Amino acid sequence: MAEEIFDETEQTFKEDFAYLEKIKKVKANKDIDPLMLMIEYQVLAEKYNKLLKNAVRISKMGDKAQKKLIKYKELMDTMRNMG
């Protein structure tokens, strides 16, 4: 993979970007051994499973943060109305 500058968020997924580069090479190889292709497919499925779990976890964290922010906004609105 060409050396790229990743921002902080992309740095979290650096390994996944590297894997995508590997998959591009696998896709380009028209003479790939079917066993090797099956192995790469299994690795891809495992990585997808991991990313899906992370996406769900991140989504839940975002939902919790949003609920807290709404609660604080309501509290601030209430305090403003009291004064």
pLDDT digits (tens, 9 = 90+) for 9-54: 788 888 888 989 999 998 899 898 999 999 999 999 999 999 899 9
Q: In this predicted structure, what is the pLDDT of residue 8?
A: 79
CA dist 1 and 14 (Å) reads: 10
- Digit-coded pLDDT (tens) for 53-64: 999 999 999 999
Give the length of the chain: 83
> Which residue blocks in the chain are alpha helix, DSSP H?
8-12, 14-28, 34-82
Place of tokens 């991991």: 50
Output the six-digit token pair for 57.
């976890």
How many angstroms separate the Cα of 45 from the Cα of each of 4, 29, 38, 41? Answer: 26, 20, 10, 6
